[in-house]
Structure 1
């Protein structure tokens, strides 16, 4: 009984956690802070620019750019869910985070991440219809269907992550309260828990398979049909025009899936936390930073809209 009472007391003491961040030299941490801050500002400004360009240019009022606006809006909040706190952690100003704050951060980061998978799948389906069935595209992908697919992506992303989030709130933490990460993640909770985390790990693994591999299959099948259709176009110019309509999306997909498959398909305890932190930088900062530039530099319509907005001849 005495041991159980001590354990219960230890468990109830954990009301906040300490985010370790990047425990390197001060000069290196200062460099990382400046780098992360600059990239975060560019992410926010770049995605706001896309939202502005689409909203102010009538020729961009199509399903493709409607989905792009959803993606840009998502990227702003996805990075905001973890980067501002990360900047404070790097400076050593606010390494602590409450139990509730940690749960909320984990929930929103992963909810936005799941939503991105669904949105990328929807965008792949949109490109499939545009290239493989152009005659019926406008009648199939109308405003109602676009809105349903976008709202369904958001709703699914926020609902599916509720399961592991709820299971995590049932865990007890009676050991060290230091999280070896720059934000609260499922891996971190599992490592710190003093109870059996099998249910949490299995839930996270199953959801990862459903979300990541499921969306990957949809995107892969879409592009198999897209590539097959493009190869049957008789003229090289026609092939290039068709491919240009989906090249930006394909580049974003490759960046996003390249990092996240490594992180979430494998069970948590088999993954090095240090490696996880490094790869997470690609997810939370690098990929969201590159997305606006990919869509701006590789897309003729976006470059035209940018020139019009800047009054460049």
Structure 2
């Protein structure tokens, strides 16, 4: 009797980990290879655009201000997030390698969510910069300096790392005794919870699955909305139209970044009746398009960037001409 009880206890506590998962991606949609080619094109643009942003910030002295530490961090996380997601996605679906090992799946999940979370927190830092600049201009250099900005970006990375480790840690405690088919385009945790439901207690992980998006997406969004309510109130106190226009112009780039990051995710979450394939495509687009659009928005909407790029190109042309003349 004692032996039987110990055997049952051992079976209950045994965690079943499959050697691999199968990621379905986009099923039943014709000519999907063209979509993967499009994703490859978007990925290349993201790498080039964000690399240019980082190089320009490093080389142009006028951009060595606290705000551009956050912009540099955003460009860096854009590159990391695209690299964590798109190459593996292309490898799986262009070359029919949709099987992914258990450990690789967890790593894929961890890095994708880490960089998305850092992006969300980084938008808070940029909104804080705009809030202080417009609402407390006399205290701006006291509240927002290089030291405080490095501290904020460092805290964003540490906090994001700790938050993302929680669901990954819980997933390692789940058993997968049934299907290993993940109905998504990457190792999405929510389909993983469904796969583990028949043979694991998924109540804690379901609670976490609601809590973490609230912390990483909705609290930042609430803070950003609140900051812009304060900014709008402060704009009405500015008497000169020229100064008001300049203040509004400094916010447009950040507002566009916020819109393209948060709106698609919230639309998908609200309209739960969207068919699975359309939902997966929308999620994939919300993951890859913001990293491509962010550098375009900053170059087109920020006058300092335009001036800095023109200055760097002019200096490069002058150096090239000097080299040709010397030879």
Per-residue deviation, 1:11:
7.4
Maintained 8 Å contact 1:209/1:265: no
Q: 1:15 aligns with which of 19, 22, 36?
A: 19
Report how far residue 222 of structure 1 moved: 1.1
Indicate the SS of the match to 1:17: strand
State the alpha-carbon separation in 2 of the partners of residues 47 and 72 from structure 1. 5
Counterpart pick for 2:178 among 175, 180, 183: 175
CA distance in 1, matches of 2:52, 2:127: 23
CA apart distance, 1:22:
1.8
Give the Cα separation in 1 of the matches to 2:263 and 2:211: 19
Q: What is residue 325 of structure 2 aligned with on the other side?
A: none
- Structure 2 match to 1:52: 55
Q: Aligned residue for 2:252? A: 247
More displaced 10-residue stretch of structure 1: 53-62 or 276-285: 276-285
Q: How far 1:232 moved relative to its partner?
A: 1.8
If the length of structure 2 is used for normalisation, what is the TM-score? 0.87
Q: Structure 1 residues 84-93 or 274-283, which shifts more?
A: 274-283
2:323 alignment partner in structure 1: none
CA RMSD, aligned part only? Answer: 2.5
1:235 to 237, 240, 251: 240
CA distance in 2, matches of 1:226, 1:72: 25
Residue by residue, what CA displacement relative to the aligned partner does 1:142-163 show, whole Å, maximum 9, x if unpaired? 1211111010011111111111
Cα deviation for residue 182 of structure 1 reads 1.3
Shift of 1:242: 0.5
Secondary structure of 1:227 counterpart? helix
Q: Deviations over 1:246-305 (max 9, x none)?
A: 110111001111122356699xx9986434412312321111111111111111111111
CA contact (8 A) 1:36 1:285 kept: yes
- Figure out how many residues of one structure are paired with residues of the other and give that number: 306
Separation in structure 1 between the aligned mates of residue 146 and residue 86 of structure 2, nearest angstrom: 34
CA distance in 2, matches of 1:265, 1:164: 23
Match of 2:75 in 1: 72
8 A contact 1:11–1:174 mirrored in 2: no
Structure 1 equivalent of residue 214 of structure 2: 209
SS of 2:176's partner is coil
Change over 3 Å in CA distance of 1:12–1:213 after alignment to 2: closer
Choose the corresponding residue for 1:285, options 262, 283, 288.
288
Aligned to 1:40: 43
Equivalent residue for 1:294, pick from 288, 294, 297: 297
How many Å separate the matches in 2 of 1:135 and 1:87?
50
After superposition, what is the alpha-carbon deviation per residue over 1:128-178, rounded to whole angstroms, capped at 9, x for unaligned? 111111111112211211111010011111111111111111111122212
User: What is aligned with 1:112?
Assistant: 115
| Separation in structure 2 between the aligned mates of residue 119 and residue 162 of structure 1, nearest angstrom | 19
Q: How does 1:113-262 map to 2 (within 5 A)?
A: 113-193=116-196, 194=198, 195-262=200-267
Gaps of 5+ in 2: 318-327
> Which is higher, the Rg of structure 1 or of structure 2?
2
Unaligned runs of 5+ in 1: none
Q: 1:56 to 1:13 in 2, by over 3 A?
A: closer
